[in-house]
Chains A and B, each alone.
Chain A
Amino acid sequence: MSLIEFAQLLNDSELGTALRESVYAFPIVEGLHLIGLSLSVGLILFVDLRLLGWFLVDVSVEDVMRPLRPWLLGGFAVTIVTGILLFVAAAAKIMLLPVFIFKLLFIVLAGINAWWFEYRWGRRVDEWGDQSGLPQGVRIAGFTSLALWSLVVIAGRLIPYLSYE
């Protein structure tokens, strides 16, 4: 089965059709996607600003990251689930859309950056987390995270603008 056939399958599924045809379902799912965004991208904004040394600089990194982590993860969960629903509803239109592929690519890269940060720095945050000047690698990870998630949001906004009719 080709990718476009798979997309058509999702598109024509009961779920996809129901989402598209229901008056309120699609806007509500999009609204929940936005809430998830505020919790995930919104809170990660503050974490990244801390890593860059631009927000709550006298609070140790661990004291910023650890309490926010469950909210961040919850936000990502809501964003991903609603994102999948939005995709199912619009699959045929956006499956091969370059900006959609880019959005997925940026998400993957952001995930890799987060994983790498966790592996290289996050596990030993208590060793460097309350220095006034944070290690270069940490600041790079923070900046990369900000840049990549911004690109995800930009690409996401462009999807409805550029999707084929």
Chain B
Amino acid sequence: MSGATRLRAEPVALVAAGAVTPFGTDLDAFWSGLITGSDGISMIERFPVDDLRVGRGGEIKKLRPLPPTRHTGCRATQLLLAAAQDLLARADISAVPERVAVVLGTALGGVEQLERALARGGRPRHAAGALYDSPAHALARRLGARGPVLTVSTACAAGATALGIGADLLRDGAADVVIAGGYDGLCRFVMRGFDALRSLTRERVRPFDRRRSGLLLGEAAALVLMTRDDRKGEPRLGRLLGHASASDGSHIAAPDPSGRGLEFAVRAALDEAAVTPADVDFVSAHGTGTPLNDRIEAEVLRRTLGHRASAIPVNSIKGAFGHSMGAAAALEAIMCLLASREGVVPHTRGLEEPDPACDLDHVVGSPRATRPRISLSTSLGLGGCNAALVLEGGET
């Protein structure tokens, strides 16, 4: 990385969070599902899958009714609005509309609308809805946010990058409140694509397990309300201390075997947060359950955390309801902060026999009672995208 002296970034407060996942339509359901080891994987029912090798995934079966609007929007927008409903039940947006920004990560945007737009009778609004930034603008309209509206599409690392950019907007004074996070809905487009790639497992998702054989996809939306960390005494979930992203420059559809992009991101995020491996109490790994990803990620964590790697609890939540793509990193960041608040780290569902090639201190079998203060969250995405977040748990 650059040899230039870097500036320690100002921490940013993560005040509250909202989520909709296959476990349910709020944050409490998300957390209790993780802690109880629930299975969020099921046969997909919302669209036909009988011609696919794998027709299972983390599908959200039921959403709460949303306030009536002119258009209900696409699935992705509906997920976002549901997550926002949960978020706003926990925190108010206390800023003028022009000072409220929305920054969202997604791998698919509103692509499901493209299928409608191209079908017979497709309407102009379907064509506009197919743009990947349409759901973010729909959310901004619903929230009345009139500040910057950004859509990040670094594939499955997008949720992490969105939180990072949201923090930068606050640090630069470009916004006073940022609603940041990620989302993606399951649709035929992505199921067919991953099915053709043969990335989906016919078995359980087993991150870091010696029997791991691939991933399953899930759908979710996760949002956090971020402010500058200058509201002393007000409750908050935690703080974002640092973030970084990097490219592999290696392969379009596979991670760099050396993991150099992820390593750069981890080191740069720790550097920005001004913390060392000795400070890290917990790692939320990307942990997709694919043979290559998990091995590379474990190697990178061992390199970057050094001798501490074997003493830091590591988990992956993708065994619980699959890989929720653009939502994944945002959910994982929230999980880190909830683990700190609750004093317990969820275990990696599906992990039974840790692969010696992925040797880390995995949280296996049941949740672990520990209260991490500093967490590291790692993410990788198609196209060689990597991102890392450093978070600090705890209310003021």
Indicate whether A and B interact. no
> Which B residues have a C-beta under 8 Å from some C-beta of A?
none
